[in-house]
Amino acid sequence: MKPCIHGSDAHTEEKLFEPDEQRYCWIKADLTFDGFKQIVYEPEPGERVKISPVEPDQKDDYKIISKIRFTNTNDFPEEIEFNKNLCSIIGSRSSGKSALLAYVAHSVDKELAEELVKGPGEGADYYWDKIDLVHSIEWGNRQSNDESPGKIVYIPQNYLFKESKNSDEIKEKIKPVLFKVLPHFKIKYEQAVNNIGVYNQQISGQIDNWFDLSDSIKSLDEQLKNLGDKTAIEKEKEEIELKIKNLKEKNQLSNEDLKQYQEISAVLSKHAGRIDVINTELSQISNVSEEQNYFIELKVTLSPSMASLPKGLQDVIKKSLEKKEDEILKEINKQVVNYKNTIEREKTEAEETIAKIKEEKKELIEKYQKNIELEGHVKKLNEYNETIGKINETAMEKNNSKNQLEKCEEVIKFAIDQRKSLIKELATNIDNADQSTLKGIKYGVEYGFDENLEEVTQKINIKEKSKFIEKGKLSIDEIREKPGEFLSDLYSGEQKIIKGNEKKQVARDVLSLTEKILFNAEMEGDKIGGFSEPTMTPGKRALFLLRLILAESEDTWPLLIDQPEDDLDSRSIYDDIVPFLKDKKKERQIIMVSHNANLVIGSDSEQVIVANRHGTDRKNADGRQFNYLTGSLEYSKTKDEDCEDTLESQGVCEHSCEILDGGRIAFEQRKNKYKIK
């Protein structure tokens, strides 16, 4: 609703000063006719006039600096009051305007003020450790900062310019601010980063498994080679069986005796072999007993991790896991003891079986052992059967390892694809996020490779041509598409690496290589952040930094800013800072030092504080070193040449014209808003 002025149309006393629907008319101005006329010049709702049932410009009292007090000094007035909206401190050079702002900042946050400025004035005599005058502020709730500690956002002179020159530092500020203004995106980002870490752990773990399996397959191939050719062995076996048959007929041995002896010989050989295996296994767990555990600790790893879960839920899960870990540890140690007892019994039984067979079949065994040639052939036949059995077992084990190898490659490929999807999803999430409340700034996500890609590339011989080297560059996309082939080529040596690097580690580095996620921001068509150089002018960067600093402070504590025009170009001041100040003063108190008319007058300062330092040509009352005159922009008073008090000699309007750069021009441009004599 556009504000307007209406007269009282009350016909009863009850209606007096009670408009219909509580449509009160609020006017922000001096209680003068000139002040009243300002509503003609600032008609926008909330600027100077507003129709509302409640008072506009309401702020939390405990977040408004009501006044500053000085004691133990005659150099400053006892107290200076501040408006709750935009207070502009003006004055000539070294007039005490920056000193006043510094004292206010120091009264609220001593550590911050001393970190940002050496003292309230120039020179070593004005360093904070040399200042002995007592200064304190009072909040709008009438409590001191000691009683009700508050905060400020303090931006000293030239701070924005110095900080905005370092674009990398500005980039670092984008992320925390983005997370504050888009908390839902922060959650998605943290979940994505956590899951990316989990997938990279999976990739590294599967690479370790892949190399272990490849070593195993290589070892199994060597074993198969040493065992011999299965076809050749089976042919030899047939020849031995024929020789045994001929000897049996020659020595008049029955088929039943021969069959029984072969079975006995095979059983004895089998039990003897099993005893050898058991002896090896017992040596590995020789110290295990019911009193001596083999496993000492068990750790369960969750995927994805619990990092993004609420703290209370994490504690519940941890307690549950610890309980289960103890139970599982006891159970598996029990299984180790049981296994040891079982194989010890099995060994005893095997030894007893061998002894029993030798005793029961003593006559048959001796009969065949007397025939040395036949005994040798039977023994050889058993060896062939055993070798063929080992070949079959080894071939099956190799085939199982190959299947596991393929599964490793599938898991690696899946993890790589999921990692890529998570990163792409982040960019989509921020693009689709509601950024309407950010007022002129749009945030985005970029992802790409940084110096990590170069570090990885240096481990691979890119001079040697391969399917993964393209024009002297490592083809990451091709590797990610075919991780199994890359691992095979790396393992076999077909993909060369630089001497001194280990194949498994190179594989981990390459396949775990993840795009770096950077944040950017766009303001009025210009960008900063991400991988590209900023396109913002220094002035726009300073404005952007100012917005970031304010966004960093979630609560609307006072903003103290010293001469921002020194950090900005003239266009930024008029086009950007003036609207910015007019907007932000509705949210928080702003105390600003400035010598720029557009900032002070164009932003419609609710209070102007004129600073003056005592001198022969600019005297203060009672010779006070620093004194201040406060009032509104519309406070006008023709200069009294006979008045010795510089501040009281004329009104705020006249001081502004005299002190501010372009002050009279600024007022002339606003002549339809303010009356200038």
Look at residue 434 in the predicted model and tell me its pLDDT.
80
Look at residue 140 in the predicted model and tell me its pLDDT.
95
The conformation of residue 560, written as its DSSP 8-state character, comes to: E
| DSSP SS3 for 483 | helix
Residue 675 has pLDDT above 60, yes or no: no
**pLDDT tens digits, 259-293:** 777 788 888 888 888 999 999 999 988 888 877 88
- Gap between the Cα atoms of 6 and 39, Å rounded: 13
Q: How many CB atoms lie within 10 A of CB 9?
A: 8
Residue 594 has pLDDT above 90, yes or no: yes
- Gap between the Cα atoms of 108 and 63, Å rounded: 11
When comparing pLDDT for 403 and 465, which is higher?
A: 403
Look at residue 582 in the predicted model and tell me its pLDDT.
87
- Gap between the Cα atoms of 56 and 46, Å rounded: 7
367: amino acid identity, one letter: K
Taking the mean position of all CA atoms in its chain, how far away is CA 461? 34
10: amino acid identity, one letter: A
Residue 510 phi, psi (nearest 5) = -70, -50
Residue 16 has pLDDT above 80, yes or no: no
When comparing pLDDT for 562 and 25, which is higher?
A: 562
Look at residue 7 in the predicted model and tell me its pLDDT.
64
Beta strands 24-27; 49-52: pairing state = antiparallel
- Locate 270 and state its tokens: 């089998």
Residue 248 has pLDDT above 80, yes or no: no
| DSSP SS3 for 216 | helix
Look at residue 677 in the predicted model and tell me its pLDDT.
45
pLDDT band at 676 (very low <50, low <70, confident <90, very high): very low
* pTM of this structure: 0.66
- Gap between the Cα atoms of 187 and 179, Å rounded: 9
Q: Are 390 and 227 in contact (CB under 8 A)?
A: yes
First to last CA, the chain: 34
Q: How many CB atoms lie within 10 A of CB 127?
A: 14
List all residues 6 or more positions away from 503 whose beta carbon is below 8 Å from its beta carbon.
Answer: 211, 490, 491, 497
Q: Find, among 64, 139, 82, 59, the residue nearest to 631 by Cα.
A: 82
- Gap between the Cα atoms of 562 and 100, Å rounded: 10
- Gap between the Cα atoms of 508 and 494, Å rounded: 17
Beta strands 469-470; 441-448: pairing state = unpaired
Look at residue 82 in the predicted model and tell me its pLDDT.
97
Q: Are 670 and 601 in contact (CB under 8 A)?
A: yes
From 32-36, 91-95, 318-322, the region with the lowest mean pLDDT: 32-36
Look at residue 43 in the predicted model and tell me its pLDDT.
66
Q: Which of 43-57, 406-420, 462-476 has the highest mean pLDDT?
A: 406-420
pLDDT band at 399 (very low <50, low <70, confident <90, very high): very high
Q: What CATH number matches the domain at 61-152+557-669, 2.60.40.60, 3.40.50.300, 3.50.50.60, 3.60.130.10?
A: 3.40.50.300
Q: Are 441 and 519 in contact (CB under 8 A)?
A: no
Residue 150 has pLDDT above 80, yes or no: yes
Q: Are 145 and 139 in contact (CB under 8 A)?
A: yes
53: amino acid identity, one letter: P
Q: Find, among 676, 556, 654, the residue nearest to 63 by Cα.
A: 556
Residue 176 has pLDDT above 50, yes or no: yes
Look at residue 674 in the predicted model and tell me its pLDDT.
42
**Mean pLDDT score of the chain:** 86
**pLDDT tens digits, 438-464:** 667 888 999 998 778 888 888 988 888
Residue 661 has pLDDT above 50, yes or no: yes
Which H/E stretch holds residue 465? Answer: none
- Locate 164 and state its tokens: 């905005």
**pLDDT tens digits, 559-574:** 999 998 888 777 777 7
Residue 472 has pLDDT above 80, yes or no: yes
Name the percent of the chain lying above pLDDT 90. Answer: 38
Which H/E stretch holds residue 139? Answer: strand 134-139
| DSSP SS3 for 433 | coil
Q: Are 621 and 640 in contact (CB under 8 A)?
A: no
Residue 618 has pLDDT above 70, yes or no: yes
Q: Are 148 and 62 in contact (CB under 8 A)?
A: yes
Q: Find, among 206, 196, 654, the residue nearest to 411 by Cα.
A: 206
- Gap between the Cα atoms of 321 and 327, Å rounded: 10
Mean pLDDT for 302-310 is 75
In the chain, CATH 3.40.50.300 covers 61-152+557-669
Mean pLDDT for 371-396 is 82
Residue 672 has pLDDT above 60, yes or no: no
Q: Which residue has the tokens 């049996």?
A: 248
Look at residue 666 in the predicted model and tell me its pLDDT.
63
Residue 371 has pLDDT above 70, yes or no: no
Residue 401 has pLDDT above 80, yes or no: yes
Q: Find, among 152, 251, 37, the residue nearest to 590 by Cα.
A: 152
